[in-house]
Amino acid sequence: MPDDSPPAQNTRRRAAFFDRDGVLNEDIGFAHRPDQITWMPGAREAVKRLNDAGFLVFVVTNQAGVARGLYSEEHVRTLHRWMQQELRAVGAHVDAFYHCPHHPEHGEPPYRTDCACRKPEPGMLLQAMAEWPVEPKGSFLIGDRDTDLQAAQRAGIDGTLYRGGDLDAVVAGILARSADGVAADS
């Protein structure tokens, strides 16, 4: 479910998709308040680097805490608005946040369901690609779990497993390899 509305423009652009917990912020388990967020090293700078390079930037995050009754979807949206403010303070932004509140085994309907948006399914990525002018070639996802990479593969984009460290350096490396690939294709 997106937290922001797509633009009216039709110019196709490459996109970067980030998992949230464990990639943009430390994964403490079911974070849903600003006081629970510690940004990963280089996370805000990585988003700014991508903005400056002309990429669309999306967050795609499973939020099973909603299905488990630990917090509401409004808590998720409020946290994402706060994260956006934090990013804007350093001249960066996320174009849209997408979250899956479902879980196949926990909670009650409508949240207890086997859905197409919960990673490893590609639903959130495909929704962003349908709603925004995403050019799949050259687009990528950074996640900290195999399920993230499976979602990227199913959506037809590259995936990178993030194991910690400076996220901006990881993004810089991806962009450098992408630029080398473009030069090699010319």
The catalytic site residues sit at: 19, 21
Give whole-number Cα distances, 5 to 68, 98, 132, in Å.
27, 11, 9
* DSSP 8-state class, residue 175: H
- What tokens appear for 47 in the block? 């988003």
Give the CA-trace dihedral at 153, 183, 170, 96, to 10 degrees: -60
b/e per residue, 27-54, with b = 16+ CB within 10 A? beeebbeeeebeebebbbbbbbbbbebe
